[in-house]
Structure 1
Amino acid sequence: MKNHERLVIGIILSAIAVFIGLDLFTDARQGAAWWHLAFELAIAIGAIFGVLLLLIGAMRLRANLAIANINISEHKATTEIWRARAKTYIDGLSKAINTQLDDWKLSASEKEIAFMLLKGLSLREIAQIRGTNEKTARAQATSIYQKSNLNGRADLAAFFLEDLLG
C-alpha cells in the first residue's frame, strides 16, 4: 500500500471513529438501547484499531527503510574501497592486455573487439555497439583468434585470466 493510500484510509478511519464517538455520546444521552450503543462502540473501536495498525505499519516500514538505507550505504562504502584497492591492478591489467594485443599486431578495431569479447559481449552486441554487421564482427573476431593463435573466445579469456587465477 502506498503512503498516500495509507493517509487517506487513516483519515477516513479517524473520521469514522470521531463521528461514531459523537453519535455514541448523543445516543447515550438520548437513552438509546444498549445493543445499539455496543454496536457503535465496536465500530468506533474497530476504526481506532485500524488507525493504530496503519500507524504501526508505517513505523515498521520507516524503520526497515532506514535499515535498508544504512545497508546500502555500507555496501557502497565497501564497493568504493574495493574499487580504490583494485584500480591500480585493473589499470595494470588493462595495460598488459593492451601490450599483448599490440604484440599480436591487432588493428585498432580488432583491439576494441577483443576487449569487448573479454568483457563477455556477444558478437551481436559488439556489432550493435560498433554500428556494423554481425558478420563483420564475426570476421574480425576470427582474425583476432588467428593472429593470436587461439581457438576462440574461451581461449582468449583464458589466455589473460589463467595467470590471474593462479
Structure 2
Amino acid sequence: MLNISERKLLTLIFLILIVVLGLDIVDDLNEGASLSHVVKEVLVMVLGTLGVLVLWNKYLKAKSKVRDIQVNIEKLKEDLSHYKEETQHLSQGIGQKINDQLERWSLTKSEKDIALLLLKGLSVREISEIRSSSEKTIKQHCSNLYQKANIKGRSELSAFFLEDILVLDL
C-alpha cells in the first residue's frame, strides 16, 4: 500500500497528466483534429481522473479500517486491563495455593521451578534451555516431582491444580 507522500505524488502526476491532456484536447479541437483522435484523448483523460478517484477511495477506506482497528485495539487493551484488575487477587491466590502445595510435596527448589514451568505448558526441551540444563536432568527432576506428588505425569500435575478451579455444568 502506498504511503501518503507516494499517494500525493501519484495524484499530482495524474492531475498534471489530466491538465496536459485537457489542454491538448482544446488545441486539437482548435486545429481541427479528427473526432476519433479527440475522443481517444478524452477517454484517456477520463481514465486518468477515474484512476485518481479510485486511488483516493481506496486510501480513505483503508484509513477508515485502520481507525476502526485502532479503536478496537484500544477497547481490547481496556478490557484486558480491567480483566487483570479483576482477576489479580485470584491469580495471586492461585499462585499461593500452588506454591503451598509444592511445599507440602517437599519439592526441591529446582523441582518447584520445573513444576511451575510444566504448569505453564513448556516442554522438557524448552525448560532445559531456560535452565541451561540437559534434557536428561530435567526429565530426572520431573520423575522426582511426579513421585513425590504421587502422580503419573505432566497432565496429572496440571489436572491436580485445575480440578477444583474449573467448574463444569454438565
Q: State the TM-score bracket (shorter-chain normalisation).
A: over 0.9
- For the residues of structure 1 that align with 2:73 and 2:41, how far apart are their CA atoms? 48
Structure-2-length-normalised TM-score:
0.93
State the match for 1:77 in structure 2.
Answer: 78
Shift of 1:95: 0.6
Shift of 1:8: 4.4
2:39 pairs with 1:2: no
5-14 vs 46-55, greater mean Cα deviation: 5-14
2:63 pairs with 1:88: no
Q: Deviations over 1:22-48 (max 9, x none)?
A: 211221222211111111001001000
2:119 pairs with 1:118: yes
- Equivalent positions of 1:25-44 (< 5 A) are 25-44=26-45
Shift of 1:5: 5.0
- For the residues of structure 2 that align with 1:131 and 1:11, how far apart are their CA atoms? 60
- For the residues of structure 2 that align with 1:8 and 1:133, how far apart are their CA atoms? 59
Instruction: State the superposition RMSD in angstroms.
Output: 1.3
State the match for 1:15 in structure 2.
Answer: 16
For residue 132 of structure 1, give the secondary structure of its aligned residue in structure 2: coil
Query: Could you list the runs of 5+ residues in structure 2 that have no partner in the other structure?
Result: none
Deviating runs (4+, > 6 A) in structure 1? Answer: none
Which amino acid counterpart does residue 120 of structure 1 have in structure 2?
G
Which amino acid counterpart does residue 2 of structure 2 have in structure 1?
K
State the match for 2:68 in structure 1.
Answer: 67
State the match for 1:149 in structure 2.
Answer: 150
Shift of 1:15: 2.4
State the match for 1:104 in structure 2.
Answer: 105
- For the residues of structure 1 that align with 2:14 and 2:136, how far apart are their CA atoms? 66
State the match for 1:134 in structure 2.
Answer: 135
Identity value in percent: 37
State the match for 1:163 in structure 2.
Answer: 164
Query: Could you list the runs of 5+ residues in structure 1 that have no partner in the other structure?
Result: none
User: In the comparison of the two structures, how many residue pairs are matched?
Assistant: 166
- For the residues of structure 2 that align with 1:11 and 1:152, how far apart are their CA atoms? 68
Which amino acid counterpart does residue 156 of structure 1 have in structure 2?
L
Which amino acid counterpart does residue 112 of structure 2 have in structure 1?
K
Which amino acid counterpart does residue 46 of structure 2 have in structure 1?
I
